[in-house]
Amino acid sequence: MPFLRCQILITCLLSVCCSIVAQADELRSTLQDQQSVAVTIYNENLALVKDQRKIQLSGGQSALAFRDVSAYMRPETALLRSLTSPGKLSVIEQNFDFDLLTPQKLLEKYVGKSVSVIRTNPATGAETTEQAQVLAANQGVVMKIGDRIETGIPGRIVYADVPANLRDRPTLVMSLNNGGAAQQEVELSYLTGGLAWKADYVAELNAADDKLDLSGWVTLTNTSGATYRNAKLQLVAGDVNQVRQAFPMAAPAMRKSARLDEAAVDKMSEEGLLEYHLYTLDRPTTIAENQTKQVSLLTAAGVPARKELLLRGANYYYGSSYGDLGQKMKVSVFVEFDNKEASHLGMPLPKGVIRVYKKDSIGNAQFVGEDSIDHTPKNEKVRIRLGESFDVTADKKQTDFKKLPNPERGTALYESAYEIVLKNAKKEAATVVVQEPIPGDWKMLRENYTHEKAASNTAVWRITVPAEGSTTLGYRVQVRY
């Protein structure tokens, strides 16, 4: 039996050696050849990678295995060019090998082929070898051994060799025609998935709710299967159009969960790019495989802010009789500020989530709400909905409704009256914005507070409610449909 075991070992070694010899003519480029790398990441899980390497090439035709590329590369976008011998290096053919070598993948590649199965007798330790044909490797293994069919893995499996398209790292294999120097600097550029970024903001309100301190962070996530060392990092904010692929490439399974890297202290500079905005980190940074990294985007202190309590109505009750419309109705809480240089800001803000905090009576910052914002240009207003007021509520009812006779042909005419009681349990006065979307062609017949016609279908009142008191808004409106 020891002789048989030795024979099997020799066979395995010869198989591996044959596999190595088969690829002996293949030139390989790894991260050791890398001179620089630049990564531009877009909002929608898309990135542009520019990988510069110094490589040694043969004259004429040769095969180059460009290793350590993104596993989510879109190979149709790959472009290799020579920086030292422009026009003298061309790509004849390329193959993207993203099937990574694992025991399961190796077994799948051998479906329909023969393998050796080694069994060990648990009592004696003796080993026996049988030839088997792999019939299936999906959700388990099915093998034909001699004249019987077996499921599961009946022992150790020995393979004749490793298929050429199974690699330990994602690899772009290119057939090249080199008419230039032997040593060249080349750049491989390609689009890839697996790289994403988002913006997050933290705001802290002051005691009077009229100023806030704002900080912005960019969070990068790399699940592309590659590491980008000392990369020049740029981010594009904006909605870049992409053609949706009818047959998307299957993504390789990730082996690890992403880890959070320490936040970098360098901020990002900003510039316009077509109809988008480009943010550039002022230093190189390493974006490791399966890593989440945070980079500072902006900081601003003392930004003037405005808090608003808003009660918004609906348009359905202006054409019918409803009576009671709600008790203890919630009043929404908003905070807004201007993205202007005069407000200590003025940088185009990428879309993201703003989380707002406020210090309590003993100085501890407490979370008071969050909201998402869209891409916000310079000089635009940022408006955040924090939640609903606990102490400010409203009771609303329809006090009168009637359908008026003899309207113009093809129209309907209604008159209705409303009463809104605003209640404030706070120890200080509160101002509530009452916003009523009134449909059709309308006119205000009577009101005890003057409204503002904010839009063709919107009436707005600003009502001050005293501390621990209430204020009643009453109005009558005529609506023509």
The predicted-structure confidence for 57-116, as pLDDT tens digits, reads as follows 888 999 998 989 998 999 999 999 999 988 899 999 988 877 666 788 788 888 888 999
Work out the pLDDT band at 266, boundaries 50, 70, 90.
Answer: low
For residues 16 and 24, the answer to whether their CB atoms sit within 8 Å is no
> Can you spell out the DSSP letters for 177-243?
EE-S-SEEEEEEEEEESSEEEEEEEEEEE-TTSSEEEEEEEEEEEE-SS--EEEEEEEEEES----P
Strands (E), 274-380: 276-281, 285-287, 291-312, 324-338, 352-359, 365-373
DSSP label of 425: -
Residue 259 pLDDT exceeds 80: no
pLDDT > 70 in the chain, percent = 86
The residue type at 409 = R
Q: How many other C-beta atoms are found inside a 10 Å radius of the C-beta of residue 57?
A: 20
| pLDDT number for residue 267 | 61
pLDDT of residue 286 exceeding 60, the answer is yes
Full set of structural domains in the chain with CATH: 103-158 (no CATH), 195-303 (no CATH), 306-342+383-480 (2.60.40)
**pLDDT for residue 282:** 87
Q: Residue 29: which of 174, 129, 158, 136 has the closest Cα?
A: 174
- 285-287 vs 89-97, strand pairing mode: unpaired
Q: pLDDT higher for 167 or 314?
A: 314
**Do the strands 365-373 and 352-359 form a parallel or antiparallel pair, or are they unpaired?**
antiparallel
Residue 317 has pLDDT above 50, yes or no: yes
